[in-house]
Chains A and B, each alone.
Chain A
């Protein structure tokens, strides 16, 4: 709710200012605030189950670990999607009163959802590593921040190998294509791959946790 209000207020500030031209940039900038919402959703997923010991009941059900993990990721993703779709009212309003190109706006929405899927998957993975929701939340936020910082660090690194590895890990750079109106198939596949990678890591983490107990 707070994030929606924040986005709404930033929209209000932009709407009647001469900087209206920067709306799309401002709107996509809100994405970073919206991403902070994901750790709030995901922190409880596995960590809370472990803390309350409900994980034993959960894993004793007929559903497999793969199914449970995917269900948790998609549940978080749906919650995030609702937030993104609500804030999409803003470009719709602009479309009616001012005129923006919807193909570009929809592409940005698609990019936001894909990026959100990766972060949801990552958040669930972090939650699966911990038995304390707040720790999971803090680690997720710190990880997001480091992830975001990669984009600023990469240009200053002169070692080609390190720079290349950081480039592979840089998720936010891939979102740029969606901001500027060109569809990058490589970026779409990258987002799906990253989400899959974290899903697999989450499954491994759960299996490891269950064996440990």
Chain B
């Protein structure tokens, strides 16, 4: 049998005639094209096996639940110049999971639906749209990873894609628009805030009130203003008011006092914000210039970092604010005002203009640091400290928790399911150990030399035998 097979092989491959050569060439070309077809079939049916430890390419139950309950068709445009096998693999799983999801792998912006082609930045993006392209979400490849020490550490493609698909199917994507143009803290300086909101699956954008041609949408948008140093223009004020009157939501982080760390002194912002304050007053809120101090604070040495709590919530983690000033809440009844953050009952209120002269006689009380005012369907939240969302402060568990719960209160859109992000299987950091490093290195070198010598000698021996054999 074996000899027959071998002679059949020899007949086909070693006979030199046109028929045999043609047969071989056709077979080889067919083999290559069959392979190509096989690759396509595997992609189409997402037939590859996921052996990664965290099952990175296997869709979770939550994702299947979301996909199974889709009302309309979803189109995923995978626009890439440089392929990312991880992303391609998980996208094929989505398209295979439901007939309502269509995956289109494209390499050119012009292949995107009209109106979106100019909005997608870069060459590696995913655009998810509904049937008519009226709702879409653009996701950069980089947003599908989380980095630690500049190394891709977490893969959050499923988390992001499922949330986007659900948001588009529900008809609304929660957008957080950071107002710019009034000396606000730059979004690039608030990387932790950006990351937290990103992980909560909000779409984050900067928004210029005076220049943007796109109107704010009360059905999807939350406007966030962080530490403005200049007032709104009249036209900007009317734009925001119009948005609020139609049920819009806005969050203001307003600093009135800062601590100069170089000089070690408190400084008051002297600029006035009449239009911004007019907006606050429409919601029964205002902010004073009096700093809230904790009773154990040595004002000559330290900044006024205080522990804030949520009224009536004894289980909430501690929230740290700095140089917070107390809020003034209107007694009038056109708004429903809720205290979000208060200081401890043993806090002082200090007017820094008076250089703390009145501190000795200041009475202890609980002061309001953050409040939420609801009027009809619109909401305005005012927090008298912007440092509580700085990168440093958002590492405090309570501050992160407060930010998340505030944004959930503010967003008009139902938050999407949150699929857990998955850690890429990478080795843990080895602690520096000189002896271990020496042992490992010497061991490796010994192994390399030993094996190389053995292999070399074996080959030499085989070669010598072969040559002897040929000579004979």
Contact = CB atoms under 8 A, between A and B. Distances in A.
Contacts of A23: 426-427
B426 A79 contact: no
A167 B86 CA distance: 18
Contact of A200 (B28, B47, B428): B28
A101 B447 contact: no
B98 interface: no
B110 to A, nearest CB: 10
B427 to A, nearest CB: 4
Interface stretch (A114-122, A127-135, A141-149, A185-193): A185-193
B52 A182 contact: yes
B298 interface: no
B48 interface: yes
Interface string B426-446: 111110100011001100110
A211 B16 contact: yes
B73 to A, nearest CB: 25
B51 A183 contact: yes
Interface in B31-79: 31-36, 38-39, 41-42, 47-53, 56-57
A51 interface: no
B81 interface: yes
Given A20-B427, A101-B52, A104-B51, A203 B13 contact: yes
A4 B444 CA distance: 10
Contacts of A182: 48-52, 57, 89
Interface stretch (B185-193, B310-318, B320-328, B451-459): B451-459
B35 A107 contact: no
A66 interface: yes
Size class of the B contact interface (CB-based, 8 Å)? 35 or more
Contact of A86 (B36, B42, B149, B447): B447
Interface residues of A, number: 68
A20 B86 contact: no
A207 B432 contact: no
A177 B48 contact: yes
A193 B436 contact: no
B151 A22 contact: yes
Contact of A173 (B28, B57, B83, B455): B83
Contacts of B151: 19, 21-22
Contacts of A4: 448, 452
B355 interface: no
Interface in A1-25: 1, 4-5, 8, 11-12, 15-16, 18-24
Contact of A16 (B50, B83, B148, B432): B432
Contact of B13 (A57, A65, A90, A103): A65
B56 A181 contact: yes
Contacts of B80: 155
B31 A193 contact: yes
B6 interface: yes
Nearest to B425: A101
A169 B33 CA distance: 10
B9 interface: yes
Contacts of A54: 470
A186 B440 contact: no
B21 interface: yes
Contact of A21 (B31, B39, B57, B427): B427
A57 to B, nearest CB: 5
Contact of B81 (A12, A155, A168, A197): A155
Given A5-B448, A185-B48, A186-B38, A180 B441 contact: no
Interface in A64-111: 64-67, 79, 82, 86, 89-90, 93-94, 97-101, 103-104, 107
A15 B440 contact: yes
A50 interface: no
A203 B13 CA distance: 7
A177 B43 CA distance: 12
Contacts of B33: 168
Contact of B48 (A20, A82, A184): A184
A64 B10 contact: yes
B16 A181 contact: no
A67 B42 CA distance: 34
A155 B79 CA distance: 11
B180 interface: no
Given A19-B151, A99-B428, A200-B24, A180 B39 contact: no
Contacts of B425: 24, 100-101, 104, 181
Nearest to B467: A54
Contacts of A89: 444, 447
B115 interface: no
Interface in A143-189: 155-156, 158, 164, 167-169, 173, 176-177, 179-187, 189
Contacts of A211: 16
A18 B53 contact: no
A104 B53 contact: yes
Given A15-B437, A101-B425, A193-B35, A204 B13 contact: yes
23 contacts: A1-B448, A1-B449, A4-B452, A11-B444, A20-B426, A22-B151, A64-B6, A66-B14, A86-B447, A100-B426, A100-B427, A101-B425, A107-B51, A155-B107, A156-B81, A168-B36, A177-B48, A182-B49, A186-B39, A190-B35, A204-B24, A207-B13, A207-B16
Given A15-B437, A98-B429, A167-B36, 4 more contacts: A86-B448, A90-B444, A100-B426, A181-B56
